[in-house]
Structure 1
Amino acid sequence: MIKINKLSKIYEKLTAVDNLTLEIQDNEIFGLLGPNGAGKTTLIHMLATLLKPTSGNAIVNGFDITKESSKVRASIGIVFQVPSSDDLLTGYENLKIHAYLYGISPDIREKRISDALELVGLTERKNDQVKKYSGGMRRRLEIARGLIHNPKVLFLDEPTLGLDPSSRETMGNTSKNSLKKKKCQ
């Protein structure tokens, strides 16, 4: 669950998020729509504890974003606007690194990686370098990375950015299926 109470972020003279109050229930798929510069990414970054709010507060999975940032981060997954996978590594290697960083024990790491690759349809391409992936494949790998540690909440920041219409549809379907199977918000 996400509870946002009067959350604001002001950059000098620009108000990016203005006194937002919102509640998102468990197992709910929720989208933020708005033009460029509307504050969507700023809100995601505050909820993911990457950016401190100017005022207000939010609770993500029962943890205060300003007082319990490490617990918030451990309980969420995030797919950034700009892909963050290493192009020189394979899809498998990227997921293995992230599984290690999230502290997934070696005895279940391989299963988690295999499940994540299957979930996003990249099993057959797992040993290819990411630089050989299409835009849609990269986005799907990012979703797998965001889900590898079974987060309660997955933030997707502009997941279809730069994709053609067909890839956008595939991306949307992959996201919905991934969230339903993993029981994320």
Structure 2
Amino acid sequence: SMVKTRSDINQESNERRGIVNKAFKLHENTVDAIRSLAEDSEKSQAQLITNAFDGFYTPLPAGYENENGEYISSDIYIYHPYGLETWLIITNVRDEYDEEIEIDIDEINFEDMINHFISQHLPGLHINNIKIFYTPILGSGEFYRPNFSKLKQEMYKDSVSLFFDLFHEMPTLFRYKNLQMVPMIEGSKEYEKLTKLY
């Protein structure tokens, strides 16, 4: 039997989910909606897509392969609550091959998930402007954020992988280390904003 490569698996996964626009991981219905909207408005498709990503509309598929070779997938919403800040809200973490398996927060490798996601989707953004949150289910009111006492952000030292932004061609040179998530305290400004999202 042929060994499947990661790109074969991604391709199959995209086809299964109906994702047609690889750059933005957009679903076929979304692309159709954007096309028809572009025809009715003065804005180009590219402009409409950019606008969509400035709001809290479509989650992007994310994930990583764990040490057992299983692909753990999730959805990440990109939210811009303030001018320069980008918030990533991770949710729906599941086993790509067996969605019945419940995944406990302690089993999630947030570091791999986020580094992979940033390199794919957000190259060129300075990491200090990114805040990360996790919720098992959107709307549950249960949120986690990184444990700042354990969190390190450092430059790639050995091999600098350059991922180019579609527009600015700026490389991502940072990575998260020791990304542990801890429950958020109700009443913080961020918590209030997060609970209002969905």
Per the normalisation by structure 1, the TM-score is 0.30
**Structure 1 or 2: more strand by fraction:** 2
Per the normalisation by structure 2, the TM-score is 0.29
**Structure 1 or 2: more helix by fraction:** 1
